[in-house]
Structure 1
Amino acid sequence: MTQAFLISTGAVALAEIGDKTQLLSLVLAARYRKPMPIILGVFAATLINHAGAGALGAWLGSMLTPTVMRWALAASFVGMGLWILVPDKLEDEEANTNRTHFGVFGTTVVTFFLAEMGDKTQIATVALAARFHDFFGVVAGTTLGMMIANVPAILLGDRFAHRLPTKLVHGIAAVMFVVLGAMALFGVGV
């Protein structure tokens, strides 16, 4: 579990820097200025979203033959590495935080959950769960990685976001995913 947890945490924390859900965290923090319900909402939405993604990945990992799994994982990790290099934009619909009847926590859960659907970190969670066959380690790691990237953005707002060398962080994350892909392809145990 330790290996899956640590790799999942690091991969998602790096991949989340500059991601649309991190941008959404900044929008929510600027709009509501109530960090605790936003942090708890991000945690709840991530845990629910990544549990579903982890379950899908674990199922895929058990259904595919080792050869098909090796090729699928190699392709997905390399694809993730390349996708990370594409800058994210937060669409107006995803940034719609006018769900005030849900309160700050509810609005955060709903908007963050929807923004995370089909996002890089959700796809990475599927691939990591399929690779490691460790649902709990991967979901705990990817959730922690999301919190590592989003909590400072929520607490420090725009001051924090503009000081990170986003291209460098994305480059490191991209290399990490490509290395994971190569290791999966060549059967090297991670």
Structure 2
Amino acid sequence: MLLSFGVIFVAELGDKSQLMAMTYALRYRWWVVVLAITVATTAVHAVSVFFGHFLGMSIPTDLLAILAGLAMIVFGLWTIRGDSLDDDESQKANRVGASVFLAVMSSFFLAELGDKTMLATITLATDDDWLGVWIGSTLGMVAADVLAIAVGVLLGKHLPERIISLGAAALFFAFGAWLLADGLAGSSTVTVVATVSATVALVGIGAAFIYRSRRLDVGRAEGTHPEADPAVPTPDRS
């Protein structure tokens, strides 16, 4: 357990998932982020231990990395969309709900699949006690991510909300590009074309939706959109 804790803690330092944890802490309450990451890490390392100790085989990390990269792009678009829809940014940054927990947990889970910390856990579980590896690796990753979350909380107290939102979106896009590059390295032409097409489609749909949302926000602010004031009835055009 101690060996697994030390190996995964060191491997996690400076890793993209640690940067993701800091990014989440800039946007949402720290304890929600810690809980979501703990659940995701426990599940990921359970899968790692199962494959390493009981099956002694590897997993299709390339496909998992591609799926995780697409998920990061979606999360980046979702972050931008949320900023355009909410006027009270501080209230949004502190919101707590099932959607936030599930979003953080699922994106972190996908990002960890095929990551070097998962591969290290599989290797450790091959020759060592599976329960000790599971507990130690989970605690090691959570401990490293808590350090990043602490940094994110401190930064969040000194940065404007607009800067935080744009920075978070940029980091999510960077995570997505990072994961896609890892997954596409050495892949077939068909896989590359399909992945690029899916990425372009996601960005296009997301950009169109964000543009529409901003237009609605402008209409509400100027009072020209029917939703600007629910008390004002829509004109009868019959």
TM-score by length of 2: 0.49
| Amino acid aligned to 1:94 | M
2:42 aligns with one of 41, 47, 61: 47
Whole-Å separation in 1 of the counterparts to 2:100 and 2:32 = 6
Uncovered stretches (5+) of structure 2, i.e. residues with no partner: 58-67, 83-96, 156-238
Give the alignment partner of residue 134 of structure 2, picking from 128, 133, 139: 139
Deviation, 1:24, is 0.8
> 2:109 is matched with which residue?
113
Deviation at 1:152, TM superposition (A): 1.6
- In structure 1, what residue type is equivalent to 2:44? N
Q: Which whole-Å CA distance do the structure 2 matches of 1:114 and 1:28 have between them?
A: 15
Equivalent residue number for residue 51 of structure 2:
56
Give the counterpart letter for 2:18 in structure 1: Q
User: Where does residue 235 of structure 2 map in the other structure?
Assistant: none
1:13 aligns with 2:9: yes
CA contact (8 A) 2:25 2:153 kept: no
Summarize deviations over 1:6-54 as a string: whole Å, max 9, x none. Answer: 000000000000111111101111122x000100000000000100110
Matched, 1:104 2:82: no
Task: Summarize the Cα distance change of 1:29–1:137 in structure 2 as closer, same or farther, 3 Å threshold.
Answer: same
Aligned CA-pair RMSD: 2.8
Q: Aligned partners of 2:138, 2:48: CA distance in 1, in Å? A: 11
**Unpaired segments of 5 or more residues in structure 1?**
64-89, 161-190
- Higher RCO, Cα 8 Å, sep 6+: 1
d(CA) in 2 for partners of 1:20 and 1:92?
15
Per the normalisation by structure 1, the TM-score is 0.60
Q: Tell me, what secondary structure is at the counterpart of 2:72? A: coil
Task: Specify the structure having the higher radius of gyration (Cα).
Answer: 2
DSSP-derived class of the 1:94 partner = helix
- Do the aligned residues in 1 keep the contact of 2:30 with 2:153 (CA within 8 Å)? no
Corresponding position of 1:85: none
Q: Is 1:28 the counterpart of 2:24 in the alignment?
A: yes
